[in-house]
Structure 1
Amino acid sequence: MASKYPKPNRGRFMCYCFIFVVFLCLFASINEVRFSGLLRLGRFAPSNETAPTRNESEDLRILISVLTLPDQYLRRHFLRLVYGTQTWEGAKVEVKFVFCNLTKEDQKVMVALEIMLHNDIIILNCTENMNKGKTSTFFTSLPEMFNDTSGVGPYPPFHYVMKADDDTYVRINSLVRSLRPLPREDLYYGFVIPCGSMDPFKHYMSGMGFVVSWDIVEWIHGSDIPKKHVEGPEDKVFGDWMRWARRGKNRFNAKWSMYNYPDPPSVCSHELWNDTIAVHLLKNQEKWIRTLSFFNHTHSLNPSKFYHIP
């Protein structure tokens, strides 16, 4: 019986298939070019809306430098507990301990062990001193230590550098929140001296813990002013540099969020309160424990069957 349907034209069918395959290849090739172009436009777009600048996309970077002495092993261990158990948001914060050259055999071993374990120590090329240039040596040394000449790392390596005493409790999250809205150039920030003053342009910032922007650090590194005036109370000497060079035009008084411990009472102190960035003059363990307890520093301790702390 003859079929009701005509036999298919195999040659025509093969021709249609070939044309269809060619069309698919061309379509894929065209769209690949368009897609690559879109990627390039997105990567190098001049508009700030689609390509944020580095400053807009990077977190705040802060270096907290605790000036101390080589032999203060127990103090550094305790401060590592204090700073290492804090949490903060929106910033990269590094804490370093700073002192001058080692002079004893036991220091060379003990400090080397600390560096191997914690890598948080800066040893300056100076003789240990309080008011004869240690602070100057510290700030002068920072650019050579942290500036990345290869261009791979971020610049500046830190937006702010804080110099702090080892008897100061710095609440890092409060510090970050305080610094975030401030200018990142020509900044000089801290607790204004004299204690009764609220004018940051009148004198200088207390050595309990003051902050400067990285451009000031680089200026100290290259200027003759700090080199010619190094001796004297380190916080006052630093203020002299700022005044003589007319630096630190962006000055901010963090008083009374920074203050001395309330016992003994003084014009530089007040009672502990929640709106605190730093507490100074924690000269013994009792004062540290009272301060940490007031701020409920151990509140994030997780419950466990391995311990019970009331």
Structure 2
Amino acid sequence: MTMMKTSKTADRRSFILSSIFFICCLCTLASITEVRFDTLLRLGRCAVVENDSTSLSFNTNDTNTSLTQNSTSSEEDIRILIGILTLPDQYHKRHFLRLIYGTQSPAGAKVDVKFVFCNLTKEDQKVLVALEIMRYDDIMILNCKENMNKGKTYTYFSSLPEILNDTNSPNPPYHYVVKADDDTYFRLDNLVQSLRPLPREDLYYGYVIPCPSMDPFVRYMSGMGYMVSWDLVQWIRDSEIPRNNQEGPEDKIFGDWLRDGHKAKNRFNAKWSMYNFPEPKTGCTHELWPDTIAVHLLKNQEKWIRTLKFFNVTENLKPSKLYHIP
């Protein structure tokens, strides 16, 4: 009898111990499963966040460099800076030009378009322009007082070497620098193609003044948009000639600098691929044509629309169920 009780007690203890062991195993397994699930959940969340972050970063990069064409360019590509001299209050014009240049992607080139003006003077400018910079990162504010013929062009060119002095950037940062008006439409593909056979040093490029002239060595290039190579930008910064001669019609003064400094031995007249809008008809213009590099004097929206329609700039619009444009 005593032996049977002892056996039952042992069996009960064994059952209890087995049950406890089984429960512990279940708890351990549940714990491990929970850890794995949480880990997988966290990894999944990380993957989602990383994917979202990558997408956001990509979109933000597109936004911040909306006027930087072919940002993945190689060292062999032509690098061009187009500085559009404008005024701080020209918000709508800047937004319009972002559309114009942001939809062009010239092959084999890195083209940066920046809006250039002098110091801000009003409280609304300080807020609205700052927002533009945060959104688009395509504005240069020079240390000068806004002017037309008292040195703004000099300040633009002479400031660039220091502004663009970045040891992580290519040297030179740009092969060519353009000074352009905000009523000029550059067709970037044609501009880039016209530059391929040209020198990258001591170069002066544009539309020769006066209208009948085809000789780029006689006077100077029109303010609609002219270009110099980077070595001339550095010379403008360093030389006493432009520093001591800043006031007057700025495009003419610019030509005087190069003449007095015996610079720009490589000159290229882009006439008649650069010209004024056909109306009103003058000796400085002709009809729109396919080989155009730049059209000037687009003073109102009607002229812009006629020009953009002629060049069929919306031909690459992707079909979508989201819109219908006949």
Name the TM-score class by shorter chain: 0.7 to 0.9
Alignment correspondent of 2:14: none
Alignment correspondent of 2:95: 77
Instruction: Report the Cα distance in structure 1 between the residues aligned to 2:221 and 2:80, rounded to whole angstroms.
Output: 18
How many residues align? The count is 253
Deviations 1:156-184 (A, max 9, x none): 00000011000000001110001111000
Whether the aligned pair in 2 keeps the contact of 1:186 and 1:250 (CA below 8 Å) is yes
Whether the aligned pair in 2 keeps the contact of 1:147 and 1:156 (CA below 8 Å) is no
Q: Aligned pair 1:64/2:99, yes or no? A: no
Q: CA deviation at 1:244?
A: 0.3
Within the candidate set 110, 119, 125, 1:92 is matched to 110
Alignment correspondent of 2:128: 110
SS at match of 1:126: coil
Instruction: Report the Cα distance in structure 2 between the residues aligned to 1:227 and 1:185, rounded to whole angstroms.
Output: 21
Deviations 1:55-95 (A, max 9, x none): x9521100011000000000000000000011210111100
Paired residues for 1:157-176 under 5 Å: 157-176=173-192
SS at match of 1:217: helix
Q: Aligned pair 1:216/2:232, yes or no? A: yes
Amino acid at match of 1:249: K
Whether the aligned pair in 2 keeps the contact of 1:64 and 1:163 (CA below 8 Å) is yes
Q: CA deviation at 1:147?
A: 2.4
Deviations 1:222-271 (A, max 9, x none): 01111111111111010000100010000000000000001111111111
Amino acid at match of 1:267: G
SS at match of 1:235: helix
Within the candidate set 220, 242, 254, 2:258 is matched to 242
Within the candidate set 196, 201, 222, 1:180 is matched to 196
SS at match of 1:251: strand
Within the candidate set 218, 232, 237, 1:202 is matched to 218
Paired residues for 1:223-302 under 5 Å: 223-302=239-318
Instruction: Report the Cα distance in structure 2 between the residues aligned to 1:87 and 1:293, rounded to whole angstroms.
Output: 18
Instruction: Report the Cα distance in structure 1 between the residues aligned to 2:315 and 2:165, rounded to whole angstroms.
Output: 37
TM-score normalized by the length of structure 2: 0.77
Whether the aligned pair in 2 keeps the contact of 1:64 and 1:164 (CA below 8 Å) is yes
Q: CA deviation at 1:145?
A: 0.6
Deviations 1:34-69 (A, max 9, x none): xxxxxxxxxxxxxxxxxxxxxx95211000110000
Paired residues for 1:114-193 under 5 Å: 114-148=132-166, 150=167, 152-193=168-209
Q: Rg: which structure is higher?
A: 2
Paired residues for 1:43-54 under 5 Å: none
Instruction: Report the Cα distance in structure 2 between the residues aligned to 1:130 and 1:262, rounded to whole angstroms.
Output: 26
SS at match of 1:215: helix
SS at match of 1:240: helix
Say what the alpha-carbon RMSD is for the aligned residues.
0.9
Instruction: Report the Cα distance in structure 2 between the residues aligned to 1:206 and 1:128, rounded to whole angstroms.
Output: 21
Whether the aligned pair in 2 keeps the contact of 1:60 and 1:159 (CA below 8 Å) is yes
What 5-or-longer segments of structure 2 have no aligned partner?
1-73
Instruction: Report the Cα distance in structure 1 between the residues aligned to 2:300 and 2:135, rounded to whole angstroms.
Output: 26
Instruction: Report the Cα distance in structure 2 between the residues aligned to 1:238 and 1:97, rounded to whole angstroms.
Output: 20
Instruction: Report the Cα distance in structure 1 between the residues aligned to 2:169 and 2:141, rounded to whole angstroms.
Output: 23
TM-score normalized by the length of structure 1: 0.81
Structure 1 stretches of 4+ with a deviation exceeding 4 A read none
